[in-house]
Structure 1
Amino acid sequence: MNAAARSGSDLARQIVVISAVVFMIIAAMVGVGLFGGTNVRDLQGGALDADATVLAPGRQAFSIWSVIYLLMIAYAVWQALPGQRARQRQRRAGWWIALTAVLNGLWLLTAQFLNLFATVVAIVILLVALAATYRLLVLVPAEGWGDRILMDVTVGMHLGWVSLATVANVTAWLAADVVPDLDARTQVVWGVIVLIVVALVGLGIALGTRGAGIVTRTAPALAMAWGLVWIGVARLTGQPHTVGVAVTAFIVAVVIVAAPLVRLPQRSPVAVR
């Protein structure tokens, strides 16, 4: 590819990133009812609200979206600067970050206009895209604080929160459409089991980011832990009330935050005789 073509591709990427983030913000405004739509928590018969299942986070947890959106806006502006246009890390990850912004907006529109199963499909696709994007960022190390904050933290928090939101979304669909008549005790048992799976996911993310900087490693964990804490708070102070799920959520939050901070011993090289 010649220099002119490469420069044109870089400029196109910058424009696409800005357009994708604008689309995401507009979709978010639709999702909170600013344009006459219904707030997400009231959609799908309330299946996505804080009291819908034992794994639904308290409403306060969703304030994390404000942080993620602000970081995404900051990234869109920063990556549009001339100095960022031809950087290899932007070329590798910029298109992927744009894709995650579009998929984020599509989930909100899916929740607004389609059904619960469609939201599950949409959020799983978003989760896969975020995981692929984050893996790219781990493989291409950050070169400064701009990279760490506006790329790694932005995508990492998005990934961590969507990992937990996927669990809540799938649980909401199962509770509403697949097994709506589960008794309270069975719901608690399954809630604890799913939270253990969440812990394994968090540990998997920590292992998958070995070798990356501490900021990169902890961003997903902090976002997941934020949601887990609010699951625990919601189960102690609201309905459905269940101490077992709350305690498990708090424990899993601690495990997930601690995992990226643990330094695993390095293998000693095998001596060659």
Structure 2
Amino acid sequence: MKLLMLKLFNLASFIYMIVASVFIADFSSGMGSAEVYVMPAPFAFSIWSLIYLLLFLLIMKSFFANEEEDLFVSRIGLWFPISMILSGTSVIVGTTPAILFISLSLLTLCIVYTIIQGLYLSSAKYRVPFSIYLGWTSIATIVDAFVVLKANGIEELFSIGELGWSVILLTTGGLIALAFYFLQKDLLFPFVFVWGYGAIYLYQENELIKFIAAAFVVIILFIISAGLWKKIQKGK
């Protein structure tokens, strides 16, 4: 009964996130209320559709779960629904408080991802939705941080302007994506950064921002391609 209630709570939290993001968010100030150097092209946000679909399939499949899937649901526990509630709330509370909710959503997703990695389950299907969800939430947190600063008229932080911080955080994000690939053997997380950084490159006009975004797209794709090629060669 306790496990069933957890599955129902997952579904309810998912519905809340969908309603908040699709039907309510348009009436809030939202992430797009301020143009910043790290803002990706609007089409990039379509990745949410993939995230919603993968999460929905994962949640619905849990109602017809086997023993391994029940273990997965019970171990991630309330962290998963909490992350969805925080994510949905971040788009309806207004620009400034949104950064708190999206950051907490990112933190809870990190916890969920860590738990999943520690389960050593037989299939990567459990990790796939969260790799993409975590990757995009990471990018969304970076973007939202700059939107909040600009919306509050803050042009410098610790004597560093918006462009400087954009360079720092874009570089940090790219390095984190590479670290995930090497440390977690995760292909999807860095691919989300390829998607996001590619959209930043296409949308922004600042040459330095375009250079950094393009550089990480090329580096990530090269390293992943090289790794896949080595696996193919070993498999022959």
Shift of the alpha carbon at 1:180? 3.6
Scaled by the length of structure 2, what TM-score is found? Answer: 0.84
Query: Is the Cα–Cα contact under 8 Å of residues 87 and 105 in structure 2 kept in the other structure?
Result: yes
2:178 aligned with 1:203: yes
Q: What does residue range 1-273 of structure 1 map to in structure 2 within 5 Å?
A: 8-33=1-26, 37-38=27-28, 40=30, 46-47=33-34, 52-83=35-66, 87-110=70-93, 114=94, 116-144=95-123, 148-149=124-125, 151-180=126-155, 187-210=162-185, 217-235=186-204, 241-257=205-221
Tell which has more relative contact order, 1 or 2 (C-alpha 8 A, sep 6+).
2
Structure with bigger helix share is 2
Structure 2, unmatched stretches of 5+, are: 228-236
For residues 130 and 246 of structure 1, the distance between their equivalents in structure 2, rounded to whole angstroms, comes to 29
For residues 39 and 232 of structure 1, the distance between their equivalents in structure 2, rounded to whole angstroms, comes to 24
Q: Percent identity over the alignment?
A: 21
Query: Is the Cα–Cα contact under 8 Å of residues 195 and 252 in structure 1 kept in the other structure?
Result: no
Query: Is the Cα–Cα contact under 8 Å of residues 62 and 70 in structure 2 kept in the other structure?
Result: no
CA RMSD between the two structures: 2.6
1:192-245 Cα shifts (integer Å, max 9, x gaps): 2221111222233334415xxxxxx1121111221111011001xxxxx21210
Give the AA of the match of 1:163: S
Give the AA of the match of 2:195: W
For residues 133 and 97 of structure 1, the distance between their equivalents in structure 2, rounded to whole angstroms, comes to 6
User: Alignment length, in residue pairs?
Assistant: 225
- Residue 134 and residue 70 in structure 1: after superposition, are their counterparts in 2 closer, same or farther (change >3 A)? same
Give the AA of the match of 2:144: N
Structure 1, unmatched stretches of 5+, are: 1-7, 211-216, 236-240, 264-273
Scaled by the length of structure 1, what TM-score is found? Answer: 0.73
For residues 140 and 85 of structure 1, the distance between their equivalents in structure 2, rounded to whole angstroms, comes to 10
Shift of the alpha carbon at 1:142? 3.0
Larger Rg: 1
